[in-house]
C-alpha cells in the first residue's frame, strides 16, 4: 500500500517538474510580454520654461542611461551598471531620428510609455526603465517638450538601437511581478512648493531615488514606492562601470546606520556636489545633482526625516 502511495506521489512530482520545465522553456523561447496600447490624445505645450524644466529633469532621469559619450546625444548605450541578473541591457536611441529614435512617435505615445512602461508596439519595457506614474502632468509635458526641442542631446542621430537581451529571470518576473502601470485617470498637479515635506516626497519618488536606495530592484513597488521592501534603507546592489557591486546607502533617519545625525546642509552638499565635510560623499552610479536648487535638495532631506527609521548598516563600497 505504501509503495503505491509513494509511486503516486513520485509520479505527481514528476509531472509537476515536467510542467515547470516546459513552462521555463516556453518563457525562455519567447520575448517579454506585449500589451494592448491605449491611444492617448495629448499634445505637448512647449515653452522656453517647459523646455528648461524638461532639460533639468531629463539630465537627472534619462541621461545617466541614454547618454552615449561617443555621440554626446541620447542615442543609448550598453548599461554596464545594470544588475547582471536582468540580462544584457542596452538603453535605446531617444533622439529625434525618425528611423532609430522617437522622431515619428506621437506625444501621446511618449506619455503612455513614460506612465505605463508600454511602448507604442505594445512591448513592455522591463524594470530597468523608470516609470513615472506619479509625476505631475506639467513635468511630463516638460520632458516631452525637451525631447522635441533643438537641444544638441536630442538632435536626430541615426545610431541604431541594440536590442536588449533579457535574462530568463527578467522574462519570468515580467510575467509574475513586473506589470505595466495603470494610466492615471485624473490630473496630477505639481506639489505645493511651500510644503517642503510634500515637495521632498515628490522628488524622492519621481527622481527614482527610492528605487536605488531601497532593498532590491526586484522588490521595488513603482506604483506604491513606500511599500518597497527596505524603503530607503539601502543595501541595493547596482554596479559601477567595472561591474563591481556598489551598495546603496541607508537614507532613513536611523541615527546609527542612516542619516539621522546629518544636518540639512550636509545632505544638500552631498546630493548637489558630492561632498561631505570636504570629502567625496558619492561614488558611481550615484552622481551629484547640481541641477537641484538648495530648497529642492533640502526638501528631500526634510521628507526623509519623516519616514520610519530602519536599522540597516551598509558598508560603503570603496575600490
DSSP 78-90: B-TTS-GGGEE-B
How far is Cα of residue 241 from the mean position of the Cα atoms in its chain? 18
pLDDT score for 1: 61
Could you tell me if 230 and 265 lie in one domain?
yes
pLDDT at 6 exceeding the cut of 60: no
Read off the CATH number of the domain in which 229 is found: 1.10.760
Mean pLDDT estimate for the chain? 89
CA distance 153 to 59: 10
Residue 39 lies in a domain: no
pLDDT at 202 exceeding the cut of 70: yes
Residue 162 lies in a domain: yes
Residue 245 lies in a domain: yes
| Average pLDDT score over residue span 305-315 | 96
Q: Global pTM?
A: 0.88
- For residues 218-252, b (16+ Cβ closer than 10 Å) or e, as one string? bebebeebeebebbbbbbbbbbeeeeeebebbbbb
CA distance 84 to 81: 8
Could you tell me if 286 and 206 lie in one domain?
yes
Could you tell me if 144 and 233 lie in one domain?
no
Boundary of a domain, candidates 145, 176, 207: 176
- Per the structure, the complete domain to which residue 82 belongs is given by 48-176
Could you tell me if 96 and 162 lie in one domain?
yes
Structure confidence by residue, pLDDT tens digits, 72-105: 999 999 888 777 888 888 999 999 999 999 999 9
Q: Report the percent of the chain where pLDDT is more than 90.
A: 64
Non-local CB neighbours of 75 within 8 Å, separated by 6+ positions:
66, 68, 93, 95, 100, 101, 157, 159
**Count of other CB atoms within 10 angstroms of residue 287:** 13
Residue 182 lies in a domain: no
**How many domains does the chain fold into?**
2
Amino acid at each position: 500500500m505504501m509503495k503505491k502511495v509513494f509511486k503516486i506521489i513520485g509520479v505527481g512530482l514528476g509531472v509537476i517538474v515536467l510542467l515547470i520545465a516546459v513552462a521555463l522553456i516556453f518563457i525562455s523561447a519567447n520575448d517579454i510580454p506585449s500589451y494592448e496600447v491605449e491611444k492617448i490624445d495629448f499634445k505637448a505645450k512647449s515653452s522656453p520654461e517647459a523646455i528648461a524644466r524638461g532639460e533639468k529633469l531629463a539630465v537627472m532621469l534619462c541621461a545617466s542611461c541614454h547618454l552615449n559619450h561617443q555621440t554626446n546625444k541620447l542615442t543609448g548605450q550598453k548599461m554596464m551598471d545594470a544588475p547582471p541578473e536582468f540580462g544584457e541591457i542596452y538603453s535605446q536611441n531617444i533622439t529625434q531620428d525618425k528611423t532609430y529614435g522617437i522622431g515619428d512617435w506621437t506625444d501621446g505615445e511618449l506619455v503612455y510609455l513614460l506612465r505605463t512602461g508600454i511602448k507604442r508596439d505594445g512591448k513592455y519595457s522591463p524594470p530597468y526603465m523608470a516609470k513615472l506614474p506619479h509625476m505631475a502632468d506639467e513635468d511630463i509635458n516638460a520632458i516631452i517638450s525637451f525631447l522635441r526641442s533643438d537641444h544638441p542631446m536630442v538632435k536626430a542621430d541615426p545610431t541604431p538601437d541594440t536590442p536588449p537581451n533579457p535574462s530568463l529571470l527578467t522574462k519570468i518576473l515580467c510575467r509574475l511581478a513586473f506589470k505595466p502601470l495603470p494610466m492615471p485617470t485624473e490630473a496630477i498637479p505639481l506639489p505645493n512648493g511651500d510644503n517642503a515635506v510634500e515637495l521632498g516626497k515628490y522628488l524622492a519618488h519621481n527622481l527614482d531615488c527610492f528605487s536605488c536606495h531601497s532593498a532590491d530592484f526586484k522588490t521595488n513597488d513603482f506604483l506604491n514606492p513606500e511599500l518597497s521592501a527596505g524603503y530607503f534603507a539601502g543595501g541595493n546592489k547596482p554596479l559601477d562601470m567595472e561591474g563591481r557591486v556598489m551598495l546603496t546607502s541607508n537614507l532613513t533617519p536611523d541615527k546609527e546606520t542612516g542619516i539621522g545625525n546629518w544636518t540639512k546642509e550636509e545632505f544638500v552638499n552631498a546630493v548637489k556636489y558630492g561632498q561631505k565635510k570636504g570629502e567625496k560623499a558619492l561614488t558611481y552610479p550615484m552622481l551629484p545633482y547640481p541641477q537641484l536648487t538648495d530648497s529642492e535638495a533640502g526638501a528631500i532631506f526634510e521628507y526623509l526625516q519623516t519616514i520610519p527609521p530602519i536599522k540597516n548598516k551598509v558598508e560603503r563600497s570603496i575600490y
